Amino acid sequence: MIQRISSHQFMILSSGILLGTAFLPIAQILAAVAGRDSWWSVMPGYLIAVPYGLMVLSFMQRYPGQNLLQISGNVFGKWAGKAIAVYYILVAGYIGALYVARAVDTYKRMIAPFMPQSVYTIGVILLVIALAWAGIEVLARFSEFCFPLVVIGLIITMLLAIPRFEWDQFFPVLANGIKPVVFGAVKTLSFPLEYIVSLTGLIPFLPTAEQSRLRSGLLRAVVLVGIIMTLVTLTEIMVFGPMEAARLNLGILSLGKMIEIAKTIAGIESVFEGLWLGAAILKITIAFFLVVWGLEYIFGFRKKFWLYAGIGLIFFIIAILQEGGTQVYLELSIAENYFLVPFALLWVPLLWFVERLRRRFGKR
């Protein structure tokens, strides 16, 4: 029996996937392109998730209980659907393994640098397998617990950073025109489009009869996360300036190191890293699910422990082979920008358009 999640759980899970761990690199990515105006780029980039998400949700009533891989097989043909599924598995699996490597690298450098990388990696993968085995409903509940804590941690960090603001960093606004802002918005596309790819597999678990609530939840999730990411980016620009923000790999954690409360509490980044791990686990588990759903579509597999263990082993091998440091961030950026973004940009609207053409001419 297919597990179902409520429309409220859908909104929180969507918010958790959209936020993910993107608050760590987003200011660095955008500051390198748009400078002090980088915070303007966030919301335009994230809003692409609204039309794409609505296109994905529109398939639910005509194809109940099917994900977009199955629908692609119906619309494009069996072999085209399987070819899309193979690409889907490879991209999701590789990016998911790189998420593991990034999480491990960050914790190894920040918490216990002498702990073997393999120990961290095994721990993360075991948590992911346990969550995936429990099912999508448990993942949604995990998101309900994790997402508010991450948001609260971000808000507290940003509020405590206000005394360190260099207010002259805010001006001049749009000094270089709108072009850098547009380029910055393009740089953010990987974050909302990762969510769209996740949504293509999630739709069989959503309540079909609550279309209006699902659309409203999608819009609220995109706007909420867009606002949070805008404020994170603006905070880093105001504290570090655009040049330093573009240099820092983990700007929000660096900000946590600087914060003191009443000259007695300092180094709150250690607490925040614990919350961030929950967001990383959520993101990795979604990638794990995408691989499972792709394999189920191609080979007709059902829920088997050996399948989950095998995917976990592949994630472990790919993650353990990564060099760490800047290299893993570069690998992840290449995988997202050159393999995931073009795929998502083309697949969803093309399927939506062709399916409607077939419907208009009396074919399903």
> Which pLDDT score, from 0 to 100, does residue 307 have?
94
CA 154 to chain centre: 17
| Gap between the Cα atoms of 21 and 283, Å rounded | 8
| Gap between the Cα atoms of 200 and 344, Å rounded | 10
Q: In the chain, where does DSSP find H-type helix?
A: 7-19, 26-34, 42-46, 49-57, 68-76, 78-110, 117-134, 136-161, 179-187, 190-202, 211-247, 251-258, 269-299, 305-320, 326-335, 341-360
| Gap between the Cα atoms of 360 and 11, Å rounded | 32
345: tokens are 């940009």
Tokens 């609207």 map to which residue?
Answer: 349
Q: Please, what are the averages of pLDDT over each run of 10 residues along the chain (364 residues)?
A: 85 93 87 90 95 95 92 94 96 95 81 78 94 93 91 86 85 85 94 96 92 95 96 91 84 69 52 74 95 93 90 95 81 93 96 92 64
> Residue 223: how many CB atoms within 10 A of its CB?
15
Q: Which of 135, 132, 128, 127 has the alpha carbon at shortest distance from 4?
A: 135
What Rg, from alpha-carbon coordinates, does the chain have?
20
> Which pLDDT score, from 0 to 100, does residue 256 have?
66
> Which pLDDT score, from 0 to 100, does residue 40 have?
93
104: tokens are 């491990």
Q: Is 133 left (phi over 0), alpha (psi -120 to 50) or beta?
A: alpha
The domains located in the chain, with CATH, are 7-348 (1.20.1740.10)
Which residues share a beta bridge with 265?
261
Phi, psi (rounded to 5 degrees) for 149 = -65, -40
pTM metric for this prediction: 0.93
Asked if omega into 172 is within 30° of 0 (cis), the reply is: yes
| Gap between the Cα atoms of 145 and 341, Å rounded | 29
> Which pLDDT score, from 0 to 100, does residue 120 have?
87
Which residues share a beta bridge with 261?
265
